[in-house]
Amino acid sequence: MPRATAVAPTPELPASPVRLRHVLLVGLLALFASWVYPRAKAAWRLNGLAVALADYGACMVGPTGASLLRGRQMDEFHTLVRRRLVTAPAGEALFARCAPLARTITGSAGIEAAHRAAAFEFAEYGGNPRATRSLGELAVSPDAVAVEAHRAWPIIRGYSTLVATSLGAYEALHPVAPSEPARGRGLPSDRAHYRVARTGPDGVLVAIGAGANLGVFRSTDGGVTFQPAPRSAAAGMAERCPAGADGRAFVLAADAEGTLAVSLVPGAEPRSARLAAESEELVSVACDDRVLVAATRPEGTRRASLRHCVFQGPCREMPAPDLGRADVGLDYPLDLARVASTTVMALQMGNVVRIVSARDGGGWTPPSVAYDGELHPLPAGRRPTRLLTVGRRLLLHGFGARASDTYGLLYSDDQGASFRGR
C-alpha cells in the first residue's frame, strides 16, 4: 500500500487593516466633502459679492444705494442713477469710480466700460443726437448675489444681512430732484425780443412783442395766470427794453449791415452800437438798467454766440458758458434774462432744461437742472423753457396754444440758482 504523504497546512494571510466600514466611511466623507465644498466656496464668494453690491450702490447713488439694492427696489435705484447723470457736467465720467465694482459683481468687461463713459454719451443726458450709450447698459442688479446665495444654501440662508458697505467705501452725494412745476396760464407762444414786466398795486403787467405782434397781459396772482389787457396799459414800457425808471431804454434797430443796439436817453441823442451782422439772427435778448445781452446765431448754423452791450457804450463778445465738454456749446434752444445784474440762460437740451448764470464781471456757473421732463412729463410746448423777469423774481415758463391751456411754471428768487414750483 502506498504510503500517505503529509500535506503542509496553508498559511493564514494576515488580516487586512481595511474594513468595509472604513470604505463606507471614506465614501461618506468624500460625498460630504463634494457636497460641502462648493457651498462653502459659494458662501465665501457670497460675502465678497454682497459687500461689493453695497459699495456699488453707495458709489452710484449715495447713502440709500445699499438699502435700495438690498431690498431690490430697482425702479427707485434707477431713478436716482438717472438723476445723478442729468445733473453732472457733460464731460464727467461720474460712474467711473464704480466701474471696478460693476466688473466684480457681473464679470462683464462691457458693463465695466459703460460705467466709464462720460455723461454726454448717454441718451438720457439730453441734447446729444448721436448718443452711444444708454443707462440700460449699466446692468448691475442683486441677481448675481442671489444666485450665489442659492448655491451657498444651507450654509448661508439669505443674503440681505450681508449687503453692508465696507469701511472706507466711497459714497456719492444723494442727488436732489428738481421741483415739480406749477401750472401757469395765459402767456402767449410768440417768441419776442421785447418782454417787459412791471409790478404795481394792480398786479403784474407784461408787454411782449412790438407793432402788430404786441401783446399786453396782466396777472393778479404773482404771474401764475395772465389775462389780456389793453395796449394803453403798457404805454411807456412796451416795444423797448427799459434801462431805468427815467425813460432810458434799449431798442433794436436794423440797418444795411445788420442789427444795432440803440441806447435812448430822454432829451439826448440816441447812441448806437453794432449788435449783430446782417448774416446773423437774434435768438434772444434781455436787458436791465445797465446792460443788454443778446444771443446771436449765424444763418445756417446751430451754435449761438453771446454779445454784451453796456448802456450808451459798445457791444462786445461775451464768453459762452462751459457745459463740460469742448464739443458741447450753445447749439440748443435758449432764452436769456437779466435780473439783479445777473445774466441767466435757460438751455433746452432734449427734455431737460438746464440753467447757467453769470454775474457781471464774473464767470458762468456750472449748469443746474431746473426741469426734468422724464420726472415731470409735459408736452413739448408746455415745458418751462422761457424766462421772464418780474421785479427781482425770475419766472421759467412754457406756453399754451390757446389762452385756456396750462403750462409748466417755475420761479427763482436767487437769480436762477434754484427754481421751485408754486
DSSP 385-420: -EEEEETTEEEEE---SSTT-EEEEEEESSTTS--B
What is the mean pLDDT for each group of 10 consecutive residues in the chain (422 residues)? 62 62 64 55 68 92 93 94 95 96 93 96 94 94 76 63 84 92 92 90 93 93 94 90 86 94 93 95 93 94 94 94 92 95 96 94 90 93 94 93 89 95 80
Contact 246, 236 (CB under 8 A): no
Contact 216, 233 (CB under 8 A): yes
Bridge partner list, 99? none
Nearest to 86 by CA among 357, 365, 344, 349: 349
**Exposure of 99 in the CB half-sphere (CA atoms within 13 A):** 15
- CA–CA gap between residue 154 and residue 157 (Å, rounded): 6
Amino acid at residue number 350: G
Angle CA 78–179–97, to nearest 5: 35
- CA–CA gap between residue 259 and residue 278 (Å, rounded): 7
Residue 398 zone, left/alpha/beta (φ > 0; ψ -120 to 50; rest): beta
390 grid coordinates:
418780474
Contact 54, 165 (CB under 8 A): yes
89 grid coordinates:
457736467
- CA–CA gap between residue 183 and residue 274 (Å, rounded): 39
Q: Which residue has the cell 435757460?
A: 346
Q: What is the pLDDT of residues 336-372, one digit of tens each?
A: 999 999 999 999 999 999 999 999 877 899 999 999 9
Bridge partner list, 386? 397
Q: What is the pLDDT of residues 36-57, one digit of tens each?
A: 555 555 565 767 788 889 999 9
Bridge partner list, 335? 346
Contact 112, 97 (CB under 8 A): no
Amino acid at residue number 250: F
Task: Please list, in sequence order, all residues whose beta carbon lies within 8 angstroms of the beta carbon of residue 330, skipping any fewer than 6 positions away.
Answer: 295, 303, 304, 305, 306, 320, 321, 347
Q: What is the pLDDT of residues 312-342, one digit of tens each?
A: 999 999 999 999 998 999 999 999 999 999 9
Contact 352, 372 (CB under 8 A): yes
Asked whether the bond before 38 is cis by omega within 30 degrees of 0, the reply is no
pLDDT at 360: 84
pLDDT at 168: 87
- CA–CA gap between residue 325 and residue 118 (Å, rounded): 10
Contact 255, 300 (CB under 8 A): no
pLDDT at 143: 85
- CA–CA gap between residue 356 and residue 383 (Å, rounded): 18
How many C-beta neighbours within 10 Å does residue 416 have? 25
φ and ψ at 67, to 5 degrees?
Answer: -70, -35
Q: What is the DSSP letter of 147?
A: H
pLDDT at 243: 83
Nearest to 61 by CA among 91, 29, 43, 87: 87
Q: How far does CA 329 lie from the centroid of its chain? A: 16
- CA–CA gap between residue 229 and residue 215 (Å, rounded): 8
* Domains of the chain, start order: 20-162 (no CATH), 182-412 (2.120.10)
pLDDT at 190: 83
Amino acid at residue number 233: A
- CA–CA gap between residue 124 and residue 366 (Å, rounded): 19
Task: Please list, in sequence order, all residues whose beta carbon lies within 8 angstroms of the beta carbon of residue 123, skipping any fewer than 6 positions away.
Answer: 131, 133, 134
pLDDT at 205: 95
100 grid coordinates:
471696478
- The number of residues in the chain equals 422
Q: Which residue has the cell 438798467?
A: 289
